[in-house]
C-alpha cells in the first residue's frame, strides 16, 4: 500500500475503473455467448435479436473506453458474419 496521498488516491481510482471495465467486458462476453448458442442451435430469429443486444453491449463498452472502437467494430463484423452462416 502506498504512503503518499496522491498514490493512495490513484490506487482507489484504478480499482474503481478496473471494476467498471470488468463489468462491461463481462456483459459483452455474456451477450456474445448467448448469441453463439442461438447461432449453434440454428435459430435465426433469436440470433438476430441477440445480435442486436450483443452489438449494443459492444457499443456501450466502446463508448466507455473499455474496448477500442476498432475492436468493437471488428467484433460486430464477426457477429454479422456468423449470422450469415445460418
Does pTM top 0.85 for this prediction? yes
Give the pLDDT confidence score for residue 26 in this predicted structure. 98
Q: For residue range 32-70, what is the model confidence (pLDDT) as tens digits?
A: 999 999 999 999 999 999 999 999 999 999 999 999 999
Give the pLDDT confidence score for residue 86 in this predicted structure. 87
Q: What are the strands, taking DSSP E only, across the chain? A: none
Domains of the chain (ranges; CATH) run 15-83 (1.20.58.110)
Q: How confident is the model at residue 29 (pLDDT cuts 50, 70, 90)?
A: very high
Give the pLDDT confidence score for residue 17 in this predicted structure. 97
CA–CA distance, 12 with 41 (Å, rounded to integer): 44
Give the pLDDT confidence score for residue 47 in this predicted structure. 96
61 burial level (CB within 10 Å; 0-12, 13-18, 19+): buried
Amino acid at each position: 500500500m502506498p504512503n503518499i496521498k496522491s498514490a493512495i488516491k490513484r490506487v482507489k481510482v484504478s480499482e474503481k475503473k478496473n471494476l467498471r471495465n470488468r463489468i462491461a467486458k463481462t456483459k459483452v462476453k455474456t451477450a456474445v455467448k448467448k448469441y453463439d448458442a442461438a447461432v449453434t442451435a440454428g435459430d435465426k430469429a433469436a440470433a438476430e435479436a441477440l445480435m442486436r443486444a450483443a452489438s449494443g453491449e459492444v457499443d456501450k463498452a466502446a463508448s466507455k473506453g473499455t474496448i477500442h472502437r476498432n475492436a468493437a467494430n471488428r467484433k460486430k463484423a464477426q457477429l454479422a458474419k456468423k449470422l450469415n452462416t445460418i
